[in-house]
A and B are shown apart, each in its own frame.
Chain A
Amino acid sequence: MPKVIVVGGGWAGCGAALAARKAGAEVVILEKTDMLLGCGLVGGIMRNNGRYTAAEEAIALGAGELFEIADETARHRNVDFPGHSHATLYDVLKIEPRVRKFLEKMGVELRFQSRAVDVKMEGKRIKSIVLADGETIEGDVYVETTGSSGPMGNCVKYGNGCCMCIQRCPAFGPRVSISKKAGVEDLVAKRSPDLYGAMSGSCKLNKDSLGEDIKKELEKKGVVVIKLPDVFIHKEKLSIKVCQQYALDEYAENIVLLDTGHAKLMAPFFSLDELRKIKGFENVRFEDPYAGSKGNSIRYMSMAPRDDYLQVEGVENLFCAGEKSGPIVGHTEAICTGILAGHNAVRKVLKMELLKLPRELAIGDMIAYVNEELKKPEGLYKRFTFAGSTYFERMKKFGLYLTEKEAIRKKVKNLQLYNVFNENLVTNEGKRQHGV
Chain B
Amino acid sequence: MVFNFNYRCIDALSPYCPCYLAETQSCLVCSVLQGKDTCDCNWQGFCVYQEYIWNGKKKENFRKTVEAKIAEKKAFSDNLVVFKVILTLPALSRDFSQPGTYVFLKSFDTPPYFEVPICVMDANEDENSLNFAVQIIGPKTKNLVRENKAFLLRGPYYNGVLGLKHIKGAKNKRCLLIGGGIGQASLVLVAKALVRGKNEITALLDAGAIKYNPAEDYLKNLGVEVQYFAKQDLVFGEMLLNLIEEKNIEMIYSGGSDVQHDFVKSAVIRSGRKIDFAASNNVQMCCGEGICGSCVVTLGSEKIKFCKAQTEYMI
User: A176 interface residue, CB < 8 Å from B?
Assistant: yes
Q: Which residues of chain B come closer than 8 Å to A177, judged between CB atoms?
A: 40
Q: Report whether A188 and B37 are in contact in the complex, using a CB–CB cutoff of 8 Å.
A: yes
Q: Which residues of chain B come closer than 8 Å to A174, judged between CB atoms?
A: 39, 41, 43, 47
Q: Report whether A161 and B50 are in contact in the complex, using a CB–CB cutoff of 8 Å.
A: yes
Listed stretches A152-160, A288-296, A339-347, A352-360; interface member:
A152-160
Q: Which residues of chain B come closer than 8 Å to A186, judged between CB atoms?
A: 38
Q: Report whether A153 and B37 are in contact in the complex, using a CB–CB cutoff of 8 Å.
A: no
Q: Which residues of chain A come closer than 8 Å to B48, judged between CB atoms?
A: 153
Q: Given the interface contacts A162-B47, A162-B50, does A157 sit within 8 Å of B32 by beta carbon? A: yes
Compute how far the CA of A196 lies from the CA of B37 in the bound complex, rounded to whole angstroms: 9
Q: Report whether B43 and A132 are in contact in the complex, using a CB–CB cutoff of 8 Å.
A: yes
User: A180 interface residue, CB < 8 Å from B?
Assistant: yes
Q: Report whether A302 and B50 are in contact in the complex, using a CB–CB cutoff of 8 Å.
A: no
Q: Which residues of chain A come closer than 8 Å to B32, judged between CB atoms?
A: 153-154, 157
- Report which of A154, A161, A162 forms a contact with B38, defined as CB distance below 8 A: A154
Compute how far the CA of A174 lies from the CA of B48 in the bound complex, rounded to whole angstroms: 12
Compute how far the CA of A178 lies from the CA of B201 in the bound complex, rounded to whole angstroms: 43
Compute how far the CA of A230 lies from the CA of B53 in the bound complex, rounded to whole angstroms: 33
Chain B residues 24-43 with CB under 8 Å of chain A are: 30-32, 37-41, 43
Nearest CB of chain A from residue B26's CB, rounded to whole Å: 16
Q: Which residues of chain B come closer than 8 Å to A173, judged between CB atoms?
A: 43, 45
Q: Report whether A153 and B49 are in contact in the complex, using a CB–CB cutoff of 8 Å.
A: yes
Q: Name 17 interchain pairs, CB-CB below 8 A, sorted by A.
A: A117-B43, A132-B43, A151-B41, A151-B43, A151-B47, A152-B39, A153-B47, A153-B48, A156-B47, A157-B32, A162-B50, A170-B46, A173-B43, A174-B47, A186-B38, A188-B37, A188-B38
Least CB separation from B46: chain A residue? A170
Among B37, B38, B40, find the residue whose CB has the most chain A CB atoms closer than 10 A: B38
- Annotate A170-185 by CB proximity to B: 1 below 8 A, 0 otherwise: 1001101100100000
Chain A residues 134-176 with CB under 8 Å of chain B are: 150-154, 156-157, 161-162, 169-170, 173-174, 176
Interface footprint category on A: 20 to 34
Among A161, A162, A188, find the residue whose CB has the most chain B CB atoms closer than 10 A: A161
Compute how far the CA of A319 lies from the CA of B20 in the bound complex, rounded to whole angstroms: 41
User: A301 interface residue, CB < 8 Å from B?
Assistant: yes
Q: Given the interface contacts A156-B49, A156-B50, does A150 sit within 8 Å of B37 by beta carbon? A: no
Q: Which residues of chain B come closer than 8 Å to A157, judged between CB atoms?
A: 32, 49
- Report which of A132, A152, A188, A301 forms a contact with B50, defined as CB distance below 8 A: A152
Q: Report whether A161 and B53 are in contact in the complex, using a CB–CB cutoff of 8 Å.
A: yes
Q: Which residues of chain A come closer than 8 Å to B40, judged between CB atoms?
A: 176-177, 180
Q: Report whether A150 and B46 are in contact in the complex, using a CB–CB cutoff of 8 Å.
A: no
Compute how far the CA of A302 lies from the CA of B37 in the bound complex, rounded to whole angstroms: 11
Q: Report whether A153 and B39 are in contact in the complex, using a CB–CB cutoff of 8 Å.
A: yes
Closest 8 CB pairs of A and B: A153-B39, A153-B49, A151-B39, A152-B47, A154-B39, A153-B32, A156-B50, A173-B43
Q: Report whether B53 and A156 are in contact in the complex, using a CB–CB cutoff of 8 Å.
A: yes
Q: Report whether A301 and B38 are in contact in the complex, using a CB–CB cutoff of 8 Å.
A: yes
Q: Report whether A153 and B30 are in contact in the complex, using a CB–CB cutoff of 8 Å.
A: yes
**Which residues of B pack against A, CB within 8 Å?**
30-32, 37-41, 43, 45-50, 53
Besides A156-B53, A157-B32, 19 new A-B residue pairs in contact (Cβ under 8 A), listed by A number: A117-B43, A151-B43, A152-B47, A152-B49, A153-B30, A153-B38, A153-B39, A153-B41, A153-B47, A154-B32, A156-B50, A173-B45, A174-B39, A174-B43, A177-B40, A186-B38, A196-B37, A301-B39, A302-B38
Q: Which residues of chain A come closer than 8 Å to B37, judged between CB atoms?
A: 188, 196
Compute how far the CA of A132 lies from the CA of B43 in the bound complex, rounded to whole angstroms: 9
Nearest CB of chain B from residue A289's CB, rounded to whole Å: 15
Compute how far the CA of A173 lies from the CA of B29 in the bound complex, rounded to whole angstroms: 13
Among B41, B47, B49, find the residue whose CB has the most chain A CB atoms closer than 10 A: B47
Compute how far the CA of A170 lies from the CA of B37 in the bound complex, rounded to whole angstroms: 20
Nearest CB of chain A from residue B33's CB, rounded to whole Å: 8
Compute how far the CA of A150 lies from the CA of B43 in the bound complex, rounded to whole angstroms: 13
Least CB separation from A194: chain B residue? B37
Compute how far the CA of A385 lies from the CA of B193 in the bound complex, rounded to whole angstroms: 57
Nearest CB of chain B from residue A116's CB, rounded to whole Å: 12
Q: Which residues of chain A come closer than 8 Å to B41, judged between CB atoms?
A: 151, 153, 174
Compute how far the CA of A188 lies from the CA of B37 in the bound complex, rounded to whole angstroms: 10
Nearest CB of chain B from residue A302's CB, rounded to whole Å: 7
Compute how far the CA of A153 lies from the CA of B49 in the bound complex, rounded to whole angstroms: 6
Compute how far the CA of A150 lies from the CA of B41 in the bound complex, rounded to whole angstroms: 12
Q: Which residues of chain A come closer than 8 Å to B45, judged between CB atoms?
A: 173
Q: Which residues of chain B come closer than 8 Å to A180, judged between CB atoms?
A: 40
Nearest CB of chain B from residue A354's CB, rounded to whole Å: 29
Compute how far the CA of A259 lies from the CA of B299 in the bound complex, rounded to whole angstroms: 56
Q: Which residues of chain B come closer than 8 Å to A176, judged between CB atoms?
A: 40
Q: Which residues of chain B come closer than 8 Å to A196, judged between CB atoms?
A: 37-38
Q: Which residues of chain A come closer than 8 Å to B53, judged between CB atoms?
A: 156, 161
Nearest CB of chain A from residue B34's CB, rounded to whole Å: 11
Q: Which residues of chain B come closer than 8 Å to A156, judged between CB atoms?
A: 47, 49-50, 53
Nearest CB of chain A from residue B301's CB, rounded to whole Å: 15
Compute how far the CA of A148 lies from the CA of B1 in the bound complex, rounded to whole angstroms: 39
Q: Which residues of chain A come closer than 8 Å to B46, judged between CB atoms?
A: 170
Among B31, B39, B46, find the residue whose CB has the most chain A CB atoms closer than 10 A: B39
Among A150, A152, A188, A196, find the residue whose CB has the most chain B CB atoms closer than 10 A: A152
Compute how far the CA of A314 lies from the CA of B286 in the bound complex, rounded to whole angstroms: 44
Nearest CB of chain B from residue A187's CB, rounded to whole Å: 11
Least CB separation from A175: chain B residue? B39
Q: Which residues of chain B come closer than 8 Å to A151, judged between CB atoms?
A: 39, 41, 43, 47
Compute how far the CA of A186 lies from the CA of B48 in the bound complex, rounded to whole angstroms: 22
Nearest CB of chain A from residue B21's CB, rounded to whole Å: 16
Q: Which residues of chain B come closer than 8 Å to A154, judged between CB atoms?
A: 32, 38-39
Compute how far the CA of A355 lies from the CA of B116 in the bound complex, rounded to whole angstroms: 67
Among A150, A153, A157, A302, find the residue whose CB has the most chain B CB atoms closer than 10 A: A153
Chain A residues 186-215 with CB under 8 Å of chain B are: 186, 188, 196
Least CB separation from B51: chain A residue? A156
Compute how far the CA of A154 lies from the CA of B32 in the bound complex, rounded to whole angstroms: 8
Compute how far the CA of A186 lies from the CA of B53 in the bound complex, rounded to whole angstroms: 25
Least CB separation from A180: chain B residue? B40
Nearest CB of chain A from residue B113's CB, rounded to whole Å: 37
Nearest CB of chain A from residue B166's CB, rounded to whole Å: 14
Compute how far the CA of A97 lies from the CA of B257 in the bound complex, rounded to whole angstroms: 57
Least CB separation from B33: chain A residue? A153
Compute how far the CA of A177 lies from the CA of B38 in the bound complex, rounded to whole angstroms: 11
Nearest CB of chain A from residue B194's CB, rounded to whole Å: 23
Q: Which residues of chain A come closer than 8 Å to B47, judged between CB atoms?
A: 151-153, 156, 162, 169-170, 174
